[in-house]
Structure 1
Amino acid sequence: MTRRWCTTAARRGLGGTAALALAALLTVLPPASAAAADSGSGYAFAPDAPTVTGATGSTDAVSLQPGTTYRSTLPDKGSRYFRLELAADTTAYVPVTAVPPADATVSASDGIEVSIEDANGTACDYDTARFGAGLSPRPVTAVGRREAGKALCKDAGTYYVVVERAVSGSTTTSPGSWDLEIAPVTEPALTEAGASTAPGTWNSASPEPLTSAPRRRTAGAGFATATPLDQGVWQTGITPGQTLYYAVPVGWGQQLHATVDLGSTSGDSRGYVSAALNLSLYNPVRGYVDDVSLGYDGTQKSSSLDPLPPVAYANRYATGGTESSVRFAGAYYLVVHLTGQTADTFGKGPYGVTLRVRVDGTPNSGPAYAGSPVPKGVFDVSSARGGLGGAAGDDDTAMRALAAGGIGTGTALLLVLGGWTLTARRAQMRANAQKPTA
């Protein structure tokens, strides 16, 4: 599409500069599917993600390529298999986000389980994600891992990603399939062996909360469309059942701190909703790091994630899951969900949400990898910041208005082309005026 526009512009005399500018605009403006959430679930899947069908057994498992994000479905019963080809020294992470319909009924123990198995059926690792006490259907993400250098699954060859529903035993859970988003990532080995133990000490004290003036920042509706945040105080609105996605670039050696505030209601409703608001943190491969929930009685509430260690490769050797997850630099995702039950007690909203985001420490160069991760730049802060569209500016900036939906892509292009046409006509008139008369 971009190439066709450039060629047409050049043929019609807009000039090289105008054609290049138009191509740049088309690159900045996201496809409609990237800016808008999926109409059935509220989740924004990665734009242009190919759809694959999970097999009921390993024999017919379709191959997944690291660096490509896929869509699939998961039935309410039975496992689904996908295939990976891995080198002996490659660590693989396969995050799977399950998205139930917005009107589904779920129990606290409902969710998904993801594992990676070798050709002999040995489980390298498994991870489970559940909806929790909020009893609200929302996107949940679990990550299967195959870590190079471990006693199990150490050989090169074929591996299988197995996805299934977590068994809850609940009779109230809605039947039917859930949508899936699968985004495999591979991590290369280091050029030389480093420390094999986690850092012994780090600053675990909670920092002073940020008190700067809040700025508005509309959230994304999925990992692929997460809105970037730098350090600061950010505000938005949220409605019951909605899930918000933000991404914070965190470099090697830096610490991330996050606090969430849920504002008071303006009505006279009384009551209490347990686990009304949930704030979850995920690492650059969408692996779970930590979360916190707020009970709500209509008055303002606030809570913070536990202090996290500075991002370091050696954190993977920590015994605690939270510390182990802070193992690489890149985009860390803050995901906010307001349970649908809030509407029954306090109304449909929207409710005010404030995020206080702090990134401490001076970034360092990090470890020396023997190759490139796939996708390239996933563990690089500059790539994360650029790929996420940059974190400068608020919702009232011109480009954000264009990109976020204030003006549609077609309308923006018409405005730009109209301006260029006027400029071209004026330039032609000046050129004609300067021509010598016969």
Structure 2
Amino acid sequence: MNRQRNRGRVTAAALAAMCAVAVLPGQAHAAGPGVYAFDPDAKNVQGAVTNVEASTLDEGVPYRSMIKPGEKLYYRVTLDDVSAAYVSAVAVPGDSGAVAYGDGISISLRETDDTQCDSGRANFGSGAYARPITAYASRTVKEGGSTCQEGGPYDVLVERESKAGSSPEPWDLELRFLHEPKLRSGTSMPTEAPESWPSASAKPLTGKQQKRSGGSGFSDATSLENGRWQDTVAPGQTRFYRVPVDWGQQIHATAGLSNSTSGGKDFVGSALTLSLANPAQGPVSDATLSYSGSPASASLRPLPPVAYRNRFDSSSQVSAVRFAGWYYLSVSLSPKLKESYGAEPIPFELSVQVKNQPEESPYEGDAGVFGVTDQDREVARKGQNAEQAAKSGPMTVVAAAGIGTGSVLVLGLGVWTLLARRRASAPAPAAGHPAGGGHQPPQGW
């Protein structure tokens, strides 16, 4: 009798636990301030101080590494002779590490004789507070090109710049190497940047505001579609989101920080940073706002519609919107706000608008990360991150915790039926001992 009772308690407790972890899409909470969510599939790799000793990065595989102040580290990639290639580095300082204006990282792609193909740089800007920043470098194959056109090994050089007063702690790195898909055979693509494009700011959205909690890194960024999204961000924290932007479409984004309820009124410059990165995790644009306890907002500058020809523009903001795919928005709040406004998260609204109808992809076959599918748009509607989307399918409803609400209900009914059968077959209670008071669901169901 005791064994049956204990077994029932364990089963009920397990059921209650499953119910507790089943949450609605878009309601998963990001990690605490300063905690970055690295790709769970990332492989550890050590940078080399000499290029001949560099470890090779495989295409499409995320890597995790580390870099110290002033270090110059080499990695190696193998390129073909027909595809554009991109190598990105996300630098993640510790949340307690001090950074100064101009601190940052640079990444360059080079031939093994040190001929530079391309380089990119990212720094913390006037805000000068630690947060994830990203930079990328590329190789483009073009007719008549004289350098970096051959297939074979290439060096990736990542350098860290830190001022004398900056923290000496190492920074974590997240590295990724991607090939752009081949163009359709016979496709005649333009070789010059667009001369003009719609540059007007988007009108403010007026629809109903919805809550959706951001992720803590590129790998677990929460998907968004057009709308007004409410979240909170704590001092020193960065929230990550992703938006599907197809060929011919134009993205607009605004972040609005609410008023403080702490009573503080001190002025904090560059209090919030709104950043946009492209599908290769290359920086596109950012905007900052100052804060003094009253509502404030910042909008990204208008960007051109996504087009292959944008890559030929001299502006890095225009050239970065050169392919379709998931575009990443991040919202960072300066840790300096903690001094005047406390450590509690502050509500903010992220307004997202993607305009225009999708156009045809110029690529041959599957575009991979450089395309948008109907499934991507459905994932954005549901508010899933990449892991949640991978676990979901046509026959499965997946909640944000990775366990489907429907699955929990079905499993719960099965467990409850089993409990009822066990109790029905149990010996009748002895005289003077009251029977159980009915089959009530366990608390929390």
TM-score with structure 2 length normalisation? 0.80
The CA deviation at 1:35 is 7.7
* Matched ranges for 1:226-265 at <5 A: 226-265=221-260
The CA deviation at 1:267 is 2.5
* 1:332 has 2:327 as partner: yes
* Matched ranges for 1:344-355 at <5 A: 344-355=339-350
Q: CA, structure 1 residues 277+377, in 2 after alignment: closer, same or farther (shift >3 Å)?
A: closer
* 1:199 has 2:194 as partner: yes
Which residue among 419, 424, 434 is the counterpart of 2:413? 419
1:270-319: CA deviation from partner (whole Å, max 9, x where unpaired): 21000000001111111111111001111000121111111111111112
Q: Which runs of 5+ in 2 are unaligned?
A: 1-20, 386-391, 422-445
**In structure 1, distance between residues paired with 2:216 and 2:242:** 12
**In structure 2, distance between residues paired with 1:190 and 1:424:** 58
* 1:295 has 2:287 as partner: no
**In structure 2, distance between residues paired with 1:88 and 1:402:** 42
Q: CA, structure 1 residues 190+266, in 2 after alignment: closer, same or farther (shift >3 Å)?
A: same
The CA deviation at 1:196 is 0.7
Q: CA, structure 1 residues 40+294, in 2 after alignment: closer, same or farther (shift >3 Å)?
A: closer
Q: Secondary structure at the match of 2:228?
A: strand
- Greater RCO structure (CA 8 Å; 6+ sep): 2
Asked if the contact 1:35–1:225 (Cα under 8 Å) also holds between the matched residues in 2, the reply is no
**What is the aligned partner in structure 1 of residue 304 from structure 2?**
309
Which residue among 134, 139, 142 is the counterpart of 1:141? 134
The CA deviation at 1:77 is 3.0
* 1:380 has 2:375 as partner: no
Q: Which amino acid aligns with 2:370?
A: V
The CA deviation at 1:193 is 3.4
**What is the aligned partner in structure 2 of residue 18 from structure 1?**
none
Q: CA, structure 1 residues 87+383, in 2 after alignment: closer, same or farther (shift >3 Å)?
A: farther
* 1:111 has 2:104 as partner: yes
Residue identity over aligned pairs, in percent, reads 40
**In structure 1, distance between residues paired with 2:376 and 2:115:** 34
Q: Secondary structure at the match of 1:59?
A: helix
* 1:57 has 2:20 as partner: no
Q: Secondary structure at the match of 2:219?
A: helix
Q: Secondary structure at the match of 1:127?
A: strand
Asked if the contact 1:88–1:156 (Cα under 8 Å) also holds between the matched residues in 2, the reply is yes
Q: Which runs of 5+ in 1 are unaligned?
A: 1-24, 428-438
**In structure 2, distance between residues paired with 1:333 and 1:339:** 20
Which residue among 215, 221, 225 is the counterpart of 1:220? 215
After superposition, the CA RMSD in angstroms is: 3.2
**What is the aligned partner in structure 1 of residue 276 from structure 2?**
281
Say which is worse superposed, 74-83 or 229-238, in terms of deviation. 74-83
1:49-108: CA deviation from partner (whole Å, max 9, x where unpaired): 111111111111111111111111112232111111111111111111011111101102
1:350-393: CA deviation from partner (whole Å, max 9, x where unpaired): 111101111110111121x24655xx34323446446xx44336
Say which is worse superposed, 414-423 or 289-298, in terms of deviation. 414-423
**What is the aligned partner in structure 2 of residue 67 from structure 1?**
60
**In structure 2, distance between residues paired with 1:36 and 1:293:** 22
**What is the aligned partner in structure 1 of residue 263 from structure 2?**
268
Q: Secondary structure at the match of 2:44?
A: coil
Q: CA, structure 1 residues 349+36, in 2 after alignment: closer, same or farther (shift >3 Å)?
A: closer
Q: Which amino acid aligns with 1:56?
A: V
**In structure 2, distance between residues paired with 1:85 and 1:223:** 24
The CA deviation at 1:201 is 2.2
Say which is worse superposed, 197-206 or 303-312, in terms of deviation. 197-206
Q: Secondary structure at the match of 1:310?
A: coil
Q: Secondary structure at the match of 1:391?
A: helix
**In structure 1, distance between residues paired with 2:52 and 2:383:** 50
Q: Which amino acid aligns with 1:81?
A: Y
Asked if the contact 2:231–2:348 (Cα under 8 Å) also holds between the matched residues in 1, the reply is yes
1:329-350: CA deviation from partner (whole Å, max 9, x where unpaired): 1111111100100111222231
Q: Secondary structure at the match of 2:340?
A: helix
Q: Secondary structure at the match of 1:133?
A: helix
- Please identify runs of 4+ aligned residues in structure 1 that moved more than 3 A: 34-37, 370-373, 381-386, 401-405, 408-427
Asked if the contact 2:30–2:239 (Cα under 8 Å) also holds between the matched residues in 1, the reply is no
Q: CA, structure 1 residues 182+206, in 2 after alignment: closer, same or farther (shift >3 Å)?
A: same
The CA deviation at 1:114 is 0.5
**What is the aligned partner in structure 2 of residue 356 from structure 1?**
351
Q: Which amino acid aligns with 2:382?
A: A
* 1:392 has 2:386 as partner: no
**In structure 2, distance between residues paired with 1:165 and 1:85:** 24
Asked if the contact 1:35–1:44 (Cα under 8 Å) also holds between the matched residues in 2, the reply is no
Q: Which amino acid aligns with 2:324?
A: A
**In structure 2, distance between residues paired with 1:327 and 1:383:** 22
Which residue among 171, 177, 201 is the counterpart of 1:178? 171
**What is the aligned partner in structure 1 of residue 36 from structure 2?**
43
**In structure 2, distance between residues paired with 1:279 and 1:109:** 18
Q: How many residues align?
A: 387
Q: Secondary structure at the match of 1:210?
A: coil
